[in-house]
Amino acid sequence: MPVKTPITVAYGDGIGPEITAATLKILNAADAPIDPEIIEVGEKVYLQGFSSGISDEAWASLKRTKVLLKGPITTPQGGGYKSLNVTLRKTLGLYANVRPCTAYAPYVPTKHPDMNLVIIRENEEGTYAGIEHRQTEDVYQCLKIVTRGGCERIIHYAFEYARKFNRKKVTCLTKDNIMKMTDGIFHQVFNEIAKEYPDIQNEHFIIDIGTALVAAQPERFDVIVTSNLYGDILSDVAAQVAGSVGLAGSANVGNHMAMFEAIHGSAPDIAGKKIANPSGLLNGAIQMLIHINQPASATIIENAWLVTLEDGIHTADIYSKEYSKRKVNTDEFADAVIERLGKIPHHFKPVSYQTDVRPKILCYGESKSFTAKKELVGVDVFIENTKLTPLELGEKLSKLATDLKLIVITSRGLKIWPNSMIDAPYANHCSCRFQSSADLKNAKVISHHDIIQLLQKFDEAGFDVIKTENLYLFDGKPGFSLAQGQ
Ligand code: NAD
């Protein structure tokens, strides 16, 4: 009997307890060498007064086992407590979210029977940094934070994953035609790292056409790497195209810890009815067994699960008159998988995972280019403006007597001064760009004191300054975007 690996298990909310119990029952029947420690997370814990949704004891278990198998957790929309899922991913450094989306046709109806792709989503950065501010009565802001190191790590991970699992191509999806800096660095790092993997093909698409292609021709994709929000949306699209969001599992992986779950949520609409499909979490658990280097258990369970699908034993979400023989509830589905442990599928290709000398992929952001010369040459001062027209605003701000010159005023990224092309621009939320010179080639380096002096003038003139963003040159190149129309 192999040594049992301690793992932490959280049942979660909604259908979580039902599908987690079913999954553990299958792991237990397959003699998977695991030693589960049960913790509580989610709604109950919030109600006990832990605003993070997780108790200190539960953290201690996670730090001990370094592996979490987790049922879905309910997160309120619009307001309320912060997502525990995001807290776990970020606190535990789980930078890679791996979501295989495979078709199981004809047993799970799909228009794309040959679909077999894996989405590798950056898990810690982008808009999921969750840094939001209400700046005026009607203006709300969400910051998108992207680091070069974060891009390097996730893109390396995608290529390493492709190598380990014998996949042939990595596709990068960004929106760098619009977000030239944040998405631009993701694409640039992809091009750099792709050169280190000549054995793996690489390509890039803009995210919108990329998503359309995933929906229309998913067979053409193999491994997809993308940033946090795009990956979140895309993986649900892909899971649905494959046949059901109820089937896919997801791994959240870091260099020290990993968390495994289903891609779907807590499905409050069917919670307590015991009809949920446990396959998503079971597939997450299979990824967990591969991660803890227990390939024999992963193989026997996945093959039994494939036989169950082939035998037409289906939960309601994937039931079809044509290919299903018996509609079962959550527990009956688990029992059907258990009955088939040791069997090999006939229609589907049987899986056979091998012991790996290096089961975990470890990636680090190398941050190659921290040698750039950084020079402060100006500042964007954001104000709430309720009274002045863009023309009046431009005239008034041009007269603020400091060494910094007003270059342009923008609103929601569009130039509204000087020479606005539109009659009545929105001018309540303005970004006023001041530089030491209009010509950046000749821009003199300024100090933070110059900015403080400028802000003093804003204050004396009665403006409501919302925030500032410093304007830097990096090796002489602007580290800021130009306004639309500038
Ligand atoms: P959902 O995935 O919970 O449900 C979407 C639809 O799919 C529902 O009709 C549901 O009944 C069905 N469904 C989902 N899983 C199923 C399964 N295993 N078997 C059968 N049918 C299934 O998405 P939602 O309704 O948008 O979210 C509900 C809650 O889950 C929200 O609070 C959300 O924040 C949370 N959520 C959590 C996670 C997570 O813990 N990782 C992920 C996504 C959503």
Confidence of residue 39 (pLDDT cuts 50, 70, 90): very high
Contact at 8 Å (CB) between 372 and 474? Answer: yes
Q: Token pair for residue 279? A: 């396959």
Instruction: Please identify, by atom number, the ligand 1 atom nearest to the C-alpha of residue 250.
Output: 41
d(CA 362, CA 356) in angstroms, rounded, equals 14
Q: What is the mean pLDDT of residues 353-372?
A: 72
* 434 vs 357 pLDDT, higher one: 434
pLDDT bucket at 355, cuts 50 / 70 / 90: confident
Specify the ligand 1 atom closest to the Cα of 267: 3
Task: Say if pTM beats, i.e. exceeds, 0.85.
Answer: yes
Domains of the chain: 1-83+261-356 (3.40.718.10), 374-478 (3.30.70.1570)
Residue 253 above 90 pLDDT? yes
**Ligand 1 atom closest to residue 281's alpha carbon, by position in its atom list:** 18
pLDDT at 187 over 70: yes
CA 263 / ligand 1 centre spacing (Å) = 8
| Dihedral sign from CA coordinates of 27, 291, 95, 183 | negative
Q: Is 267 in the pocket of ligand 1 (CB under 6 A)?
A: yes
Report whether 205 contacts 176 (CB < 8 A).
no
Beta carbon of 74 within 6 Å of any ligand 1 atom: yes
User: Ligand 1: which of 19, 20, 23, 266 to mutate, judged by most atoms within 8 Å of the beta carbon?
Assistant: 266
Read out DSSP for 296-332?
Answer: HHHHHHHHHHHHHHHTTEE-GGG--TTT-SEE--HHH
What is the distance between the alpha carbons of residues 41 and 38, in angstroms, rounded to a whole number?
A: 10
Residue of minimum CA distance from atom 38 in ligand 1: 265
Mean pLDDT of 332-355: 95
Q: Is 254 a pocket residue for ligand 1 (Cβ < 6 Å)?
A: no
What pLDDT was estimated at residue 483?
Answer: 72
Helices (runs of H) and strands (runs of E) counted in the chain: 13, 20
Q: What residue has token string 């989405």?
A: 119
- Whether pLDDT at 366 is above 80: no
Burial class (CB in 10 A: 0-12, 13-18, 19+), 399: exposed
Q: How far is the CA of 422 from the centre of ligand 1 (A)?
A: 45
Least trusted range by pLDDT, from 175-184, 238-247, 393-402 = 238-247
Closest C-alpha residue for ligand 1 atom 44: 265
Ligand 1 centroid vs 264 CA: distance in angstroms?
5
pLDDT at 79: 61
- Which residues have CB under 8 Å from 345's CB, separation 6+? 303, 306, 307, 310
Average pLDDT in the 410-427 region? 86
Ligand 1 centroid to residue 241 C-alpha, Å: 16
Higher pLDDT, 404 or 109: 404
Share of the chain above pLDDT 70, in %: 96
Ranges of H-type helices in 195-270 = 207-216, 228-242
Q: Is 245 in the pocket of ligand 1 (CB under 6 A)?
A: yes
**How confident is the model over 456-482, as a mean pLDDT?**
95
Residue 213, pLDDT above cutoff 90: yes
pLDDT at 65: 95
Which stretch, 68-82, 214-228, 392-406, has highest mean pLDDT? Answer: 214-228
User: Ligand 1: which of 85, 92, 240, 245 to mutate, judged by most atoms within 8 Å of the beta carbon?
Assistant: 245
Is pLDDT at 358 greater than 80 in this prediction? no
pLDDT at 29 exceeding the cut of 70: yes
From the CA of 440, how far away is ligand 1's center (Å)?
Answer: 51
DSSP 166-210: T--EEEEEE-TTTSTTHHHHHHHHHHHHHTT-TTSEEEEEEHHHH
User: Is the pLDDT at 371 greater than 70, yes or no?
Assistant: yes
| Segment 255-282, tens digit of pLDDT | 889 999 998 899 999 999 999 999 999 9
- Residue 475 to residues 97, 352, 373, 393, Cα–Cα distance (Å): 34, 52, 5, 33
Confidence band, pLDDT 50/70/90 cuts, at residue 84: confident
- Cβ–ligand 1 distance for 72 under 6 Å, the answer yes
CA distance 211 to 228: 14
Burial of residue 129 (CB within 10 Å: 0-12, 13-18, 19+) is: middle
pLDDT at 195: 97
Residue 399, pLDDT above cutoff 80: yes
Q: Is the CB of 75 under 6 A from ligand 1?
A: yes
The predicted pLDDT at position 361 comes to: 79
Cβ of 232 less than 6 Å from ligand 1: no
Among 121, 228, 264, which residue has the most ligand 1 atoms within 8 Å of its CB, making it the best to mutate?
264
Going by the DSSP 8-state scheme, the letter that residue 219 receives in this structure is G
The Cα 469–Cα 379 span in angstroms is 6
What is the C-alpha separation between 245 and 363, in angstroms, rounded? Answer: 29
pLDDT band with cut points at 50, 70 and 90 for residue 54: confident
Q: Using the predicted structure, report yes or no on whether residue 416 has a pLDDT greater than 80.
A: yes
Distance of CA 266 from the midpoint of ligand 1 (Å): 4
Give the mean pLDDT of 310-330. 94
Residue 75 has what pLDDT?
79
Q: Is the pLDDT of residue 326 over 80?
A: yes
DSSP class of 76: -
Which position has the higher pLDDT, 261 or 354? 261
459 three-class SS: helix
d(CA 241, CA 295): 28
Per-residue pLDDT, averaged over 208-212, amounts to 97
- Locate the ligand 1 atom nearest the alpha carbon of residue 264 and give its number: 2
Indicate whether 473 pLDDT > 70.
Answer: yes
- Nearest CA owner, ligand 1 atom 23: 265
Model confidence band, residue 78 (pLDDT cutoffs 50, 70, 90):
low
Any atom of ligand 1 within 6 Å of the Cβ of 9: no
Contact, 104 vs 347, CB < 8 A? no
CA–CA separation, 90 vs 94, rounded Å? Answer: 6
Shortest-distance atom of ligand 1 to CA 84: 40
Indicate whether 169 pLDDT > 70.
Answer: yes
Span 189-218, mean pLDDT? Answer: 97
Distance CA 189, CA 149 (A): 9
Ligand 1 binding pocket includes 283 (Cβ within 6 Å): no
Q: Could you tell me the two tokens for 252? A: 């959240």
More confident position, 482 or 412: 412
Residue 72 CA to ligand 1 center (angstroms) comes to: 8
